[in-house]
Amino acid sequence: MIIALGPVSVDLWHILSAGIGGGLVLIVQGIWRAAATDVAKRITASLWLMRKIDQITPAILRHPMWSGTWDVTWEVASSNFEQVNTHRSQLYRCFNAIALEGVGRTVTGHEIPYGFVGRLSRDKSIATGTWFDRRWGDGGYHGVYQVRVAGTGDRAVGLWCGFSETGPQINAKTLTWERISIDA
């Protein structure tokens, strides 16, 4: 439908499509800004992408270090968790980026999905990054970690650090990753 306004003709379809297109751009920008500022959403997106890349990468191209199934053990002084916690997790790697995901359990038996994303050092012996759990939906409890692989590459030891849920302090305790298998 064309509308004539004096010497100017306006196509109503073009006006509507420009308005809808502009609205969609604003919606996508808003979603991206929200995801980029929410640690749990950003890490969830990173884990999803790393898992997809790992699925399409042929096994022969996967580097044996920093991949496969790992037991993640972390220590904590909390009424919500045992003092020492070990959970089976899956580790994905794409170039110098890594992502590890698993499911933890509170002392009451509540399962909590968690993830680690990070970067490897130049010599691939150190992983540094961010961890989170989604105990509170997408908001998440989060912090940082650093682990160093030793020997044959089947064990990495370091620290996790994060704010306390019950007090004003920042907690830091031991974090250990032990490889169970290299997935083919």
Percentage of the chain with pLDDT > 90? 26
Give the confidence band of 159 by pLDDT, cuts at 50, 70, 90: very high
Distance CA(63)–CA(67), nearest Å, equals 7
What whole-number distance in Å separates Cα of residue 120 and Cα of residue 125?
Answer: 7
Asked whether the whole model's pTM tops 0.85, one would answer: no
Give dist(CA 24, CA 10) in Å, integer: 22
Position 174 pLDDT exceeds 90: yes
Confidence of residue 17 (pLDDT cuts 50, 70, 90): low
Confidence of residue 97 (pLDDT cuts 50, 70, 90): confident
Average pLDDT score over the chain: 79
pLDDT single digits (tens) 35-77? 555 666 666 777 777 777 777 766 665 666 788 899 999 998 8
CA dist list (Å): 29 to 16, 40, 46: 20, 18, 18
pLDDT tens profile 105-127: 888 988 888 889 899 998 889 99
pLDDT at 184 over 60: no
What is the architecture of the domain spanning 39-181? Beta Barrel (2.40)
**Distance between CA atoms of 74 and 50, rounded to whole angstroms?**
23
Tokens of 8: 């100017």
DSSP 17-58: HHHHHHHHHHHHHHHHHHHHH-HHHHHHHHHHHHHHHHHHS-
Q: Where in the chain is the domain with CATH 2.40.128.120?
A: 39-181
Q: Is the pLDDT of residue 178 over 90?
A: yes
